[in-house]
Chain A
Amino acid sequence: MCRAGVPLVLFLAGVIGACVPVPTPGEVDDIDVPFFETAFLEPGEGIVIQGDPRHLDQETELLECLRDGIEEADPPLRIIPTQGFRDAFFPWFEPSTSPKDEADFERVLAEPRVQAKLASMNVRHFVSLKADTSETEMGGVEMIAVGATGNTRTSRVTAEVVDLRSGEALGEAGVTVSGKQLFLHYTIFGAVLFATTETTACEELGRNLAAVLNGQAISYPDEAFEGRHGTTARP
C-alpha cells in the first residue's frame, strides 16, 4: 500500500503542479492621465464604463479590475452597472450600435428619449476601455520533463472619457505596466498565462481616473517614477 501510494502522490503532485507561474505584479512604466478640467463630477452624477462589448470575456474582467481601482476613490464615484445601462438605453449601446466617435455620440444624444433617460439616471461620463498586452519571450531551460521559461509582458490599458452632456470626447487616459513572469512546469502540460500586468495597469488607471474625475491631483509619489517614463498632468 505504501509503495503503491508514492507514485500516486507524485503523479497527483505533477498534475496539480503542472504549471507553476511565478508572476511579478509588474511595474508602472507610464501613467498618462490628463487632468480633464471639465470632467469633474457634480455630486450625484455617475459614470458608465464599457469595454469592447464584442469580447464579453475580456470586457467583464477589465470592468471588474478597473472598478477595483475606482472603488478606492474618496468621495466614492457612482458607477452605473454596464448591463443595466445597456438595458435602459436599448438599442443605442449594443455591441454594433454603441457610439464609436464624436459623430456617433452626437447622433445618439440627439435622440430626445436618450437625453431624457440620461437626465433621469444622472449619467455624466461614458468611459470606453481598451487593453492591449504584448509579450517578449526570455528563453528558458528544459531538462527532461521539467523546465522553466519566462517572458516580459507589457500591458497598456486606456480609457477614453466622453462627456454625455455634450458628446465631447474629453481625452484618453492610459497606464502602461510591464513585468517579468517565470513559469516552472512539467513539459507534458501546457503553460497557463496570468495577465498580472493587465490587472496592475487597469487598477492603477482606475485609481487615477477616479482622482481626476473627483477633481483631485494624482497623488503618486515622485520617487515612484524615478527611472521610468511617466507623465501626470497636475492642475
Chain B
Amino acid sequence: MLERDTERNPECKKRHTLPRLPAIGLLLLVLSGCSTGPEVTDHDITLESAYDGTPLVAATDAMVGVHYDAGLFNEAMSLDIREGRDTERYRFVAGPRTVELFERIFTALFRDHRRVSGRPPLEEDSDGLDGVLEVRLAHVSSYAMDYRLTLFELSGRQIYEWQARGSIARSVGDVEDAVLGLRSAMRDAAAQFLIAFHDPPQIQWWLLEPGSAFEDAPPPAGPF
C-alpha cells in the first residue's frame, strides 16, 4: 500500500523517508516520561547532638528514676523539599538526641538517676529512689519542641509537671536549616526546664524531704 502511494505521489515518499531513528528515540523519551508519576522519597534524619557539656547548675540531693515515654521515639518533624515533580521527604527524629540531652541534664541536676520501665508504681525495684521523672514530647513542629516533664511520687501521685517549649524563628529552607533549628529548639526547652526546676513550692518541699508529699508540709511560718 505504501509503495503504491509513493509511486503515485513523490511528496508522500519524501514524508516516509524521514530519518526514523530520532523519531523513535523521541517517542521513547515521551513514553518513559509518562510512565512514572511524581515520586516521594523518604529520608530519616537523626539530629546532631544538641549539647555535650556539663550544665552550670547546682546538683540536688535527690535520686530519681527516669522514664522516657515511648512516644518520644515516634514523634518527628517532616520537611518536604520539591525537586521538579518529585518530593524529597525528610523526617527528623528527635528521640535519641532528646534522651542524650536529658541524660546530661539529669546527671548534673540529681545526685543520681537511673532509667525505669514506666510510671510508678514500678514493677522493678525502686529502692533508693525519691521519685520518678517522666519525659514526654508533647509536640514537635517547624523548629518548636514542646516537652512535658512530670515528677511522680513512688506511689504514683503526681508532684509537679513542667512544660518546656523551645522555639526558634528560622526560615524553612533546607535540611541543614531544619537540623540547626530543631537542635536550638531542643536546647532551649531543656534550658527552660533546668532553670525552672527549683521554682515550684512543691519541688522545694520535695527537695527538703524527698519522698514525702507536699500536702504533708507544715504550714509556713507567718505572718505574711
Contacts and interface: CB of A to CB of B under 8 A. Distances in A.
A91 B191 contact: yes
A187 B7 CA distance: 56
Nearest to A93: B191
A87 B51 contact: yes
Interface stretch (A111-119, A125-133, A213-221): A111-119
A95 B170 contact: no
Interface residues of B, number: 22
A76 B192 CA distance: 36
A111 to B, nearest CB: 7
Interface residues on A, range: 10 to 19
B153 interface: no
A117 B53 CA distance: 13
- Most chain B CB atoms below 10 A, which of A54, A55, A91: A91
Contacts of A114: 56
Nearest to A116: B56
B169 interface: yes
A54 to B, nearest CB: 5
A91 B184 contact: no
A56 B51 contact: no
A113 B57 contact: yes
Interface string A82-106: 0000011111101111000000000
Contacts of A91: 55-57, 190-192, 194-195
A54 B53 CA distance: 22
A167 B198 CA distance: 23
B195 A97 contact: yes
A96 B188 contact: yes
Given A91-B191, A91-B194, A97-B188, A55 B170 contact: yes
Interface in A106-154: 111, 113-114, 117
A57 interface: yes
Interface in A39-94: 53-57, 87-92, 94
Given A97-B192, A117-B56, A90 B167 contact: no
Contacts of B190: 91
Contacts of B56: 89-92, 111, 113-114, 117
B180 interface: yes
Contacts of A94: 166, 184, 187-188, 191-192
B171 interface: yes
Contacts of A117: 56
Contacts of B181: 56
Contacts of B203: none
A96 B191 contact: yes
Interface in B190-216: 190-192, 194-195
B23 interface: no
Given A54-B168, A54-B169, A90-B53, A95 B184 contact: yes
Interface of B: 51, 53, 55-58, 166-171, 180-181, 184, 187-188, 190-192, 194-195
Given A56-B181, A91-B55, A91-B195, 5 more contacts: A56-B169, A57-B170, A92-B56, A96-B166, A96-B192
